[in-house]
Structure 1
Amino acid sequence: MRYIALLLIFLTAPAIAQQVPQSAAEMRMSFVPVVKQAAPAVVNIYARIMRQQRGTPLQSDPFFERFFRDPFAERKPRVQNSLGSGVILSEDGIVVSNYHVVGMATDIRVVLADRREFQARVLLGDEEADLAILKIDAPDPLPFLDLRDSDSVEVGELALAIGNPFGVGQTVSSGIVSGLARSGASGGGGQGYFIQTDAPINPGNSGGALVDVDGRLIGVNTSILTRSGGSNGIGFAIPADLVAAFVAQARSGATSFGKPWAGISGQPLDADMAATLGFDRSGGLIISGLHAVSPFRAAGLEVGDVILTVGGQPVNTPAEMIYRMSVAGLGAEAEVGFSRGEEERTARVALIAAPEDPPRDPVTLDTQSAFPGLSVVRINPAVLSELNLPLEIEGVAVTDSGPYAARAGLRAGDVILAVNGIVPAHPDDVAQLLDGQMRRIEMVVQRGARRITMRFRG
């Protein structure tokens, strides 16, 4: 009987090894089946960007650069390499990675787990979300991971992080989902909404896969919180639902991610604020400002209302709200639950792009100006969104300071409030007010919450 039992074990072992574990007891045995299923779809990414550098720092100064025009001080190309990971999402070669891995790269090489190599091109990227969608062309169908509904992920689930840490090759680490709805916690460039995990994530893991025990993608590893540079057990992944929205826009031909515009300002309603305002409970996002053409205003919301849900999901921060809107996508409508006083209501909010109305009318100052190369635009909702300006701001904003204005202290995002006491209403006004013949210039700008007065002599 003992020999018969041993024979049955050997005969059934291969079948068991090919199955995804279905219980905690099976999971304690091995992660091998999950890794075999998921790892072939996780790739290593090598990106290269050529940057120009000058032979001496003084060449960067507009005044001194004319003294350094000799053959030995010409600009020299510098190669900057980036190492990371990516995940194949379709058999025709759609790959997702982090923007900080491949953004602005001139050459991207994708290496599969079976050591095949392909050149890749960026279809769509977004620095703020820290996501990029790539395309590789392979003669045969590629292995890929299915996306899981991010809202079905729960704290305590087992999770595997697969990537290429420190360039040592594909590596798998295990842990659990240790938190959800982490917003503004990224250290890798993303400013959004994350899944938190204690599965070790290290440099090179960026863009890699966070998968569940069924081998489905639940998130794209993007950053860690660390003091030493290594993993301390607090890592963040961009949820698969947002990845799906990026893929959909990339397949539609978009080259930049279209994010719905809210046109509101607000802050989390915590316990202290709720007590101060007389609310009987905390939670949600209290509206402190509404733009005149905000889709939330058009749907009937007012300053003082508390947004509780978007698309049936709770929101407590601006980042959570924007995430929910981005997942729903441009052109859709989102059901927004909110409270006004003690009454709870719902509204249908149209998800629109930030309007380009009025036209931004960009102007770049010429060589006859006091600040050649300075670029300014008229502020509209699209400019407010791009430069992250307060909703109430109007007038003219700087989009590129150029070499001379940069030396004087101007930055992209500065709002020009006045030049020699005159308020510019249009970019053309700035061009006239900064005439190169003027001997003295006093400029008042707003930078964030500060007003700054700058004085220059011609």
Structure 2
Amino acid sequence: MVRSLALPLTLALVTSLPLAAQPDTQVPQSQAEISLGFAPLVKEAAPAVVNIYAKIIRQDRARSPFADDPFFDDFFRQFAQPRPRVQNSLGSGVILSDDGIVVSNYHVVGEASDIRVVTNDRREYQAEVILADQASDLAILQLKDAEGLPSLGLRDSDEVEVGELTLAIGNPFGVGQTVSSGIISGLARTGTGGGQGFGYYIQTDAPINPGNSGGALIDVNGDLIGINTRILSRSGGSNGIGFAIPANLVREFVRQAREGEGEFQRPWAGMTGQPVDSDLAEALGLGQVDGMLISELHPQSPFVEAGFEVGDVVLEVDGEPVNSPSEMAFRLSVAELGGTSAVTRVHQGETETVEVALMEAPNSPAADPITLNEQTPMPGLVVGQVNPEVITKMQLPLSTEGVVVMDPGPYAGRGGVRAGDLLLAINGEEIAAPEDVANLLMNSGRWMRLDLMRQGQRVSLRFRL
């Protein structure tokens, strides 16, 4: 199947020659133009794509001697001593400025303790992560003592169209820099390959393999349209379905990194929704199957302030279509905090556009996290009050209220308590605020029953203190 694509792609390469000099696509004028293929384009773009070698130190626990015992395994699972394990990660990156700003994937460098970047001409640089976000799978690096480096420009990824020719440049399987060609085969792919709800990808059939992660997906003008991040494959190799993070999100990451942000700041919607299918469209009396139905709104959501209600259908954000929660998250992520976005909705049968303020998830009421000390039966346990900021950071359901475990610490963790658990009661006494946890633990006696809510299920744990 790969061979069957090679000939037509090679013949189409001709369009890249005039495009390197002028924006309009032209028919090849000579046999020489046909034979050159993508060579001029690759010579321009490849020097800005780098190989990345990252070292990640993970704390693994030694295997318990009771690991295969159906009874004792639960009791002894947490008691094995952690030991460090060095994991080497191989990937790619793209230079975006001559002073050494490089973009790659979070899963390549996000947790690395040592990062080495090798350019196309074999120069080596040490690098540090200056901004990373696991949900978006993006990381921005700064190369040390770098200057005068080749770089790629960012294209407006909203202008990309299905059928455009594209090149994927990276370091697949560690064999060295490799270029593969294909077309844009899909746009607005969401929820593909897992992730945490922020997945929104450009799809290409240009072969992408392990090691291509963080590499460049470019158009025939040599502009960056996406960062290669995932493939859809059962074998682990390319099946012609690869995904790239759009350049518009990369642009916002670079802006925030240059402004010194320690974490990626994305506007908070405070809503949940679902795609409008044919049944929903008929029930809502919509003329077409488009948009995202708002199914839940947090009382502090800026959309509530703007007059949105459950049952409204969001059609567009800043003129771009929205058909799923992932698309909504992406559209807000590429907008700047502190401004507004024009959101088109269907409200009570009428289509209208409303300005919505772009704000962070509020820390109100204050989370007031408390870390239990050595005087309590569970030292190291961190608990806090749930609010929109906590809901966002811990990925809790939008309607969550109460006191949440932010970190179980060593002792509560051994007893089965997990981060994200909602604490309901201790020995039957309800927990209303973080400070209640320490007070109730100190007066719990020799035995304690902890009632909590985990993923919608009520759980009771018993401890001997």
TM-score (norm 1): 0.89
> 29-38 or 188-197: which moved more?
188-197
> 77-86 or 126-135: which moved more?
77-86
Alignment correspondent of 1:152 = 159
Alignment correspondent of 2:291 = 284
> In structure 2, do the counterparts of structure 1 residues 24 and 204 end up closer, same or farther at CA, with 3 Å as the change threshold?
farther
Alignment correspondent of 1:8 = none
Alignment correspondent of 2:343 = 336
**Which one-letter code corresponds to 1:78 in the other structure?**
R
CA shift for structure 1 position 418: 2.6
> In structure 2, do the counterparts of structure 1 residues 51 and 66 end up closer, same or farther at CA, with 3 Å as the change threshold?
closer
| 1:62–1:404 contact (8 Å) kept in structure 2 | no
| 2:135–2:195 contact (8 Å) kept in structure 1 | no
What SS does structure 1 have at the residue aligned with 2:334? helix
| 1:130–1:189 contact (8 Å) kept in structure 2 | no
Q: What is the RMSD computed on CA atoms of the aligned residues?
A: 2.7
2:87 counterpart of 1:84: no
**Which one-letter code corresponds to 2:422 in the other structure?**
V
**Which one-letter code corresponds to 1:98 in the other structure?**
N
CA shift for structure 1 position 368: 3.5
2:362 counterpart of 1:348: no
> 129-138 or 208-217: which moved more?
129-138
| 1:442–1:455 contact (8 Å) kept in structure 2 | yes
What SS does structure 1 have at the residue aligned with 2:368? coil
How many residues were matched structurally? 438
- For residues 159 and 19 of structure 2, what CA distance do their matches in structure 1 show? 25
TM-score (norm 2): 0.88
2:174 counterpart of 1:167: yes
User: Could you report, residue by residue, the CA deviation over 1:89-126 in whole angstroms, capped at 9, with x for unpaired residues?
Assistant: 01111000001100121111000000000001111000
> 40-49 or 180-189: which moved more?
180-189
CA shift for structure 1 position 433: 2.1
Q: Find the partner of 1:115 among 122, 125, 129.
A: 122
Alignment correspondent of 1:202 = 209
Alignment correspondent of 2:225 = 218
> 248-257 or 74-83: which moved more?
74-83
Alignment correspondent of 2:26 = 23
| 2:161–2:184 contact (8 Å) kept in structure 1 | yes
Alignment correspondent of 1:184 = 191
- For residues 27 and 313 of structure 1, what CA distance do their matches in structure 2 show? 37
- For residues 284 and 18 of structure 2, what CA distance do their matches in structure 1 show? 59
- For residues 307 and 179 of structure 2, what CA distance do their matches in structure 1 show? 49
- For residues 78 and 262 of structure 2, what CA distance do their matches in structure 1 show? 39
CA shift for structure 1 position 43: 0.1
> 27-36 or 166-175: which moved more?
27-36
Alignment correspondent of 1:376 = 383
Unpaired stretches in structure 2, ≥5 consecutive residues: 1-16, 68-72
CA shift for structure 1 position 457: 4.0
2:275 counterpart of 1:268: yes
CA shift for structure 1 position 187: 4.7
> 195-204 or 419-428: which moved more?
419-428
Identity across aligned pairs (percent)? 59
2:261 counterpart of 1:258: no
Alignment correspondent of 2:410 = 403
**Which one-letter code corresponds to 2:100 in the other structure?**
G
> In structure 2, do the counterparts of structure 1 residues 399 and 66 end up closer, same or farther at CA, with 3 Å as the change threshold?
closer
**Which one-letter code corresponds to 1:282 in the other structure?**
V
User: Could you report, residue by residue, the CA deviation over 1:277-298 in whole angstroms, capped at 9, with x for unpaired residues?
Assistant: 4444322111122111111111
Alignment correspondent of 1:7 = none
- For residues 84 and 312 of structure 2, what CA distance do their matches in structure 1 show? 54
What SS does structure 2 have at the residue aligned with 1:434? helix
> 44-53 or 199-208: which moved more?
44-53
CA shift for structure 1 position 264: 1.1
- For residues 256 and 363 of structure 1, what CA distance do their matches in structure 2 show? 23
- For residues 213 and 78 of structure 2, what CA distance do their matches in structure 1 show? 42
CA shift for structure 1 position 149: 0.2
2:254 counterpart of 1:247: yes
CA shift for structure 1 position 446: 2.3
- For residues 255 and 246 of structure 1, what CA distance do their matches in structure 2 show? 11
What SS does structure 1 have at the residue aligned with 2:184? strand
CA shift for structure 1 position 56: 5.6
| 2:92–2:171 contact (8 Å) kept in structure 1 | yes
User: Could you report, residue by residue, the CA deviation over 1:413-439 in whole angstroms, capped at 9, with x for unpaired residues?
Assistant: 111223333331211111222237433
Alignment correspondent of 1:430 = 437
| 1:370–1:437 contact (8 Å) kept in structure 2 | no
- For residues 455 and 76 of structure 1, what CA distance do their matches in structure 2 show? 29
> 439-448 or 403-412: which moved more?
439-448
Q: Mapping of 1:122-137 within 5 angstroms?
A: 122-137=129-144
2:245 counterpart of 1:238: yes
| 2:451–2:461 contact (8 Å) kept in structure 1 | yes
User: Could you report, residue by residue, the CA deviation over 1:239-276 in whole angstroms, capped at 9, with x for unpaired residues?
Assistant: 00000000000000112100110111211111122334
**Which one-letter code corresponds to 2:26 in the other structure?**
S
Alignment correspondent of 2:12 = none
- For residues 322 and 85 of structure 1, what CA distance do their matches in structure 2 show? 26
Q: Find the partner of 1:299 among 292, 296, 306.
A: 306
| 2:427–2:448 contact (8 Å) kept in structure 1 | yes
User: Could you report, residue by residue, the CA deviation over 1:297-350 in whole angstroms, capped at 9, with x for unpaired residues?
Assistant: 111111111111111111011111111111112112100000013201111111
What SS does structure 1 have at the residue aligned with 2:329? helix
- For residues 111 and 280 of structure 1, what CA distance do their matches in structure 2 show? 54
What SS does structure 2 have at the residue aligned with 1:282? coil
- For residues 311 and 237 of structure 1, what CA distance do their matches in structure 2 show? 22
Alignment correspondent of 2:5 = none
